[in-house]
Amino acid sequence: MLNNITALATSLCQHLPFSTSNYKNDDIAPYYRNHVAAITGAGSGMGRELAIHLAKMGCHVALSDINAEQLAQTNALLVGYDITSTTTVLDVSDNKAVQAWADNVMAEHGKVNFIFNNAGVAFSSTIEGASIQELEWVMDINFWGVVYGTKAFLPLIKNSVKESESNTSTDGKDKPRQFKEHGHIINISSLFGLTAQPSYSAYNASKFAVRGFTESLRQELAIQRCGVSATCIHPGGIKTNIANSARGNDSVTDVGMHTGDKAIKSFNKLLKFDASEAAWIILQAAATNQARCLIGNDAKIVDAVQRVFPSSYSQVLNDVTKLSRKLKPRRTSKRNNKSSTAS
């Protein structure tokens, strides 16, 4: 037991204090200024906020989203910034469309330095209750969308960075290569890419897959010393539209979960972290070449618990949730008593 406590404390120390970004715009702006970033899912949420932050730092953006109206709204928010922005209505589950978009970005911007594979969907169902088509829908967007985006943009990013190489000397194999421009692949996994949850098997599978895919990619890029790297992002509950656009079926009632409006309401209650701040943390993580980035106290705490209890984290988290529910009425009662006394 003591070993578990020590391990938990050690893991928590890696994440404490649970603060937001400590960086000012000027700290990472040079990393992005006069570069070109491609963003999927840019019509709302973190994708939109990424576009706004990048524009403020002087980074040109190529925006894509499946929703044309929302995409246009994001693009309108960039008017006035000294950057070039282009938009493409895109279904990230369509490999040929993603490749065509990447080619268009090169044609329109002349180079590309970053791809933010941000588009994603949520789906709730038991494994038994999910159809193959429903499982494929989630994987096609959340995982294959990331794969297609990475495959389409990686060679273009590597070439853009290579053309900026300032040290072409071949003297000494271990001599570090110098590049004037940066290149980075940023893939969005999830808190659910760290731990699995009942009724979210497809979503869990897609986000675990993104994690493994990105971690392998990062190692390959490091070996190649090509000036390009990769970061895996694990957001917790971010205030976006993902709950309102999520799909699901009634099979979740078999494991005690809500459906319909109740499910959406419960889901939205978990989305507390500001999307703009989340986007800024993502940009900071890429600019400082972090291997992975946890966003929100929920992601950090769950990650710590999983590290300490790799085989039984689900039971530990369930116990914590039950305890929290028991304490909540007491806290509410105390607040009500204080209000009554004050009045």
Task: Give catalytic residue positions.
Answer: 203
Question: 320 Cβ partners below 8 Å, 6+ apart?
Answer: 305
For the chain, give the longest Cα–Cα distance.
Answer: 80
Are 132 and 123 spatial neighbours (Cβ–Cβ below 8 Å)?
no
Are 209 and 229 spatial neighbours (Cβ–Cβ below 8 Å)?
no
Provide φ and ψ at 36, rounded to 5°: -125, 125
Positions of E strands within the chain: 36-39, 60-65, 85-89, 114-117, 123-124, 183-188, 228-235, 247-248, 292-295
Question: 12 Cβ partners below 8 Å, 6+ apart?
Answer: 300, 301, 304
Residue 191 in 3-state DSSP?
Answer: helix
Alpha helices in 110-242 (DSSP H): 132-142, 144-162, 201-224
User: In the structure encoding, which two tokens stand for residue 118, read together?
Assistant: 């941000």
Nearest to 227 by CA among 145, 302, 160, 274: 160
Are 181 and 140 spatial neighbours (Cβ–Cβ below 8 Å)?
no
* Cα atoms in the Cβ-side hemisphere of radius 13 Å centred on 193: 27
User: In the structure encoding, which two tokens stand for residue 44, read together?
Assistant: 């709302």
